[in-house]
Amino acid sequence: MARQPVVAGRAEQLLGSAVVATAPVAGGDICTAVKLRLSSGRTAFLKTLSPAPPHFFEREAAGLRWLAEADPGGGVATPEVLGVDTDCLILEWVEAARPNAEAAGAFGRALAATHGAGAGAFGAGDDGYIGRLPLPNGPLPTWAEFHAERRIAPYLKVLRDKGIVTAEDAATIEAAAARGAAIVPDEPPARLHGDLWNGNVLWAAGDRVVVVDPAAYAGHREVDLAMLALFGLPQLPQVMAAYHEAAPLAEGWEERLGFHQLFPLLVHACLFGGQYGARAARAAQRYL
């Protein structure tokens, strides 16, 4: 590892500790990521974005800390927040390992514990981000209202305004979202990661799983499970089985995964193009 003086100096300002070496980390499509070796012998992870949207890193740090509150009670692990500012976030380094069945089972049980750790009304005290996109979190009394008004309507409006989805597809998605109360059973708000796709699940040494890059809020717990299933996760059947054993899901949960996937598909349509909008419409059609 060499030492990038500018990056090292910024990290030292936040950490109050000397950085002896830095190395670029590949994989992120939004932020620049760097591995830091500190004079204490500790290794850290720095991500930076300039210019970053308002409160971009602060919201991420707050989400990690909120999820970490469930960790002492058996909840899923998150990296410790070492420093945060408007332009960057510094986390403890997570050493990668290969996925295995033991870690998958432990992750399923831990995720169930996090979901059950308690949350307020559906939503959050502050709006956040999912990827680069704003994430409205204004609380609402029911999941059906929150899902339709905070998770479907804002992104569908962007897609309509930009002509990314057809009027017919948009109407199909909107109609399915309006049926949320009839489709999804009532449950108390769960403590959600909110963007729990494969890339945000780190398989770590010691048969641990650590989650990163949250878009955290209080929502329906099936949402995180639907995100895990949408783009695939190693050892997913073991994760789901362990979760269901620890915190049994309401009958028909597997059939509802597609409904919960409407939101991330719309997010992907906003970020990457219309094929995801058409895919969301096909999924929505099943719930009319």
Half-sphere exposure of 192 (CA within 13 A, CB side): 29
Name the catalytic one among 71, 87, 126, 195.
195
| Residue 92, token pair as written in the block | 């403890």
Q: Is the alpha carbon torsion for 58, 60, 65, 69 positive or negative?
A: positive
| Residue 181, token pair as written in the block | 């109360």
Distance CA 96, CA 236 (A): 18
| Residue 184, token pair as written in the block | 């999804």
Q: Could you give the angle at which helices 153-161 and 262-272 cross, rounded to 10 degrees?
A: 30
Distance CA 55, CA 60 (A): 9
Nearest to 261 by CA among 163, 167, 176: 176
Distance CA 222, CA 237 (A): 15
Q: Is 195 one of the annotated active-site residues of the chain?
A: yes
Contacts of 262 (CB under 8 A, 6+ apart): 152, 173, 176, 177, 280, 283, 284
Identity of the amino acid at 210: V
**Any idea which residues carry the catalytic annotation?**
195
